[in-house]
Amino acid sequence: MTTAYIGLGSNLSDPIEQVKDAIDEVKQLAQCQVTAISSLYLSKPMGPQDQNDYINAVIAIETSLSAIELLDVLQAIENSAGRVRKDNRWGARILDLDIILFGHEVINTERLTIPHYGMHEREFVLLPLAEIAPTLNLPNGETVKYLSQNIANNAMVKLS
């Protein structure tokens, strides 16, 4: 079994329910066991500001899936929620599920980059991750605690 951390985000179609429903779907996967769930956070969008704020969270799972198999399962959950992949990388979305970390693996393929390429600059990833795994060390030796203490929170609000 491998410990993986998944970032969840939504800013369309009742984002709180989208994130909660996605967590419930991951809980139903036979090959995965959810071991920790962060609070929900309200955050400003990274891209164009003419979109709704996001609801974000991070979950920890234990899984027997490979990283690519997990990516496929998460993308199927996004698709079932109605996610449409667009050219606009930073646009509004019904559901976004990102593998942040997968054990201590470093993966850099066309489909998957782990650790997630943007985690170091995203408060909506680091702060929920620090909530559920403050002593976690990244593959490069950095600690989640250190990174989370040295990032601006950009007016992010912890909801629950």
Q: Which residues are catalytic?
A: 83, 93, 96, 98
Q: Comparing C-alpha atoms, which of 133, 1, 2, 6 is closest to residue 73?
A: 6
Whether the CB-CB separation of 10 and 45 falls below 8 Å is answered with: no
Residue whose C-alpha is closest to residue 147's, from 156, 158, 138, 159: 138
Say if residue 86 is exposed, middle or buried (CB neighbours under 10 Å; 0-12, 13-18, 19+). Answer: exposed
Q: Residue 97 has which token pair?
A: 């599920």
Report the distance separating Cα 160 and Cα 156, nearest Å: 13
Residues near 71 by beta carbon (within 8 Å), at least 6 away in sequence: 99, 111, 112
Give the Cα separation of 56 and 97 in Å (integer): 10
